[in-house]
Amino acid sequence: MTRADVLGERLAKIPPLIDVDAHVVEPPDLWSSRLPARYRERGPRLVHAPAGEIKLIDGKYREEPGTAGPEVAWWFYEDSRTQLKRYIAAAGVPADEVTLEGITYADMRPGCWQPAERLADMDLNGVQAQLCFPNYPRFCGQMFLWGEDRELARLCVEAYNDWMVEEWCGSGGGRLLPLCIVPLWDVDLAVAEVRRNAARGVRAVAFSELPAYLGLPSLHSRAWDPFFAACQETGTVVAMHIGSGTKTPQTSADAPAAVGATIIFGNSVASLTDFLFSGVLHRFPDLKLLYAEAQIGWIPYLLERVDDVWETHRGWSRGQDNCPEPPSTYYFRQVHSCFFKDAVGIDLLDKVGLDNVLFETDYPHQDGTWPRSREAAAMQFGHLEQEQIDKIARGNAIRLLGLDLPG
């Protein structure tokens, strides 16, 4: 059989997808239309100015507009400046043209930020429903963690969540699935925001895979236990996107960006190890975790290693202090990871766990598979039994998020 024959045969087995990791580019008036008038000049607002450069200083991204050249879209918030870049809105753009240069909203597909156009792009891609992570606030809302005015930052978080629920998802006919953020600097406020959103049907909250990288308490401190308790009680899935700790693995200052882009999954390795040994999943046995854009091929060895350390080094490693059962026990019971390019992970599916795997598209990022995500699914797992295909493509997401969707 030719590749085209194989693809056609496998495509027939791929059902409508449920995409658990896409991204939304926030509309220009999200905060200016929702913040109290007294905060609108300091809250996030869109400004057009010449492109500038980006630097990471003390764990924070710093940018400033240039003085000449074509104007691009900038987010201004307090003293921070962030330009909208091509690589975060790359859907439909040839790979050679995807750069770190600034763009305007006119330079991107409308589906990046308009709900009706997003639904149309989902239709083109065979996606029935989609969960979207933030863009400007960063993957777990850490932009507002860095804000100086805490009251403004809290209002920015709430404004984002109100927009996410009422406008982005509210106009999606149930196909756009809400994912909210929380005030990361205050656990009590985070708990309140989880409960506020759960009361209106939100079943997922973005969180940092490595909060200590953001200068926040670690998982081992138990400071986050009230947050995890609220998520468990409300059935809210803790969704952690790769890079949500901001600091990412690097080998050297002069290594090309390709090195970091390849090894970024190391953050997810560290995060899952933290969760398994911290006792969080033991103390909250109904808490569910979702790793987004982390892929899955690395999981089998990590599970083998954590179980071996738990047993072999029990005399000194303190691995059993908060983890009375082999760590892999908690993974198979409570942890999920999604992928979009990981044929190796599918080869190891019996060790990754059929019920622990979900699919994603990463729209509209360059790494994403739009508009050929069904083809990507078909070539990676379309050879499996239909029941297995259905679980990966949609069934596991329906179960995890408690979705009510037509078959």
Q: To 5 degrees, how large is the angle CA 290–CA 187–CA 246?
A: 55
More confident residue, 56 or 78: 78
Gap between the Cα atoms of 230 and 241, Å rounded = 20
Tokens representing residue 2 in the block: 């030719």
**In this predicted structure, what is the pLDDT of residue 405?**
81
**Does 407 have pLDDT greater than 60?**
no
The domain locations on the chain are 3-38+109-401
pTM summary value: 0.95
Quick: pLDDT tens for 308-354: 999 998 888 788 889 999 999 999 999 999 999 999 999 999 999 99
End-to-end CA separation in angstroms for the chain: 31
Q: What is the mean predicted confidence (pLDDT) over 35-42?
A: 96
Lowest pLDDT segment from 1-5, 79-83, 369-373: 1-5
Residue with tokens 């790359």: 90
Query: Do residues 105 and 111 make contact, with C-beta atoms less than 8 angstroms apart?
Result: no
Distance from chain centroid for Cα 127:
17
Buried b (16+ CB within 10 A) or exposed e, 185-205: bebebbbebbebbbeeebbbb
% of the chain beyond a pLDDT of 70: 98
All residues at 6 or more sequence positions from 8 whose CB lies less than 8 Å from its CB, including other chains: none
**In this predicted structure, what is the pLDDT of residue 273?**
96
All residues at 6 or more sequence positions from 212 whose CB lies less than 8 Å from its CB, including other chains: 218, 245
**Residue 26 DSSP symbol:** P
Binned at pLDDT 50, 70 and 90, residue 225 comes out as very high
DSSP-assigned beta bridge partners for residue 47: 74
Query: Do residues 321 and 382 make contact, with C-beta atoms less than 8 angstroms apart?
Result: no
Q: What is the mean predicted confidence (pLDDT) over 208-227?
A: 96
Say yes or no: domain 3-38+109-401 is CATH 3.40.30.10: no
Orientation angle between helical segments 150-163 and 187-198, nearest 10 degrees = 20
**In this predicted structure, what is the pLDDT of residue 4?**
83
Quick: pLDDT tens for 45-60: 999 999 987 666 666 6
Q: How many CB atoms lie within 10 A of CB 304?
A: 12
Give the alpha-carbon dihedral of 148, 151, 155, 158, to 10 degrees: 100
Quick: pLDDT tens for 147-175: 999 999 999 999 999 999 999 999 899 99
**Is residue 357 helix, strand or coil?**
strand
**In this predicted structure, what is the pLDDT of residue 58?**
66
Average predicted confidence (pLDDT) for the chain: 94
Buried b (16+ CB within 10 A) or exposed e, 43-62: bbbbeebebbeeeeeeeeee
DSSP-assigned beta bridge partners for residue 19: 130
**In this predicted structure, what is the pLDDT of residue 61?**
64
Tokens representing residue 90 in the block: 């790359």
**Residue 129 DSSP symbol:** E
Gap between the Cα atoms of 97 and 87, Å rounded = 9
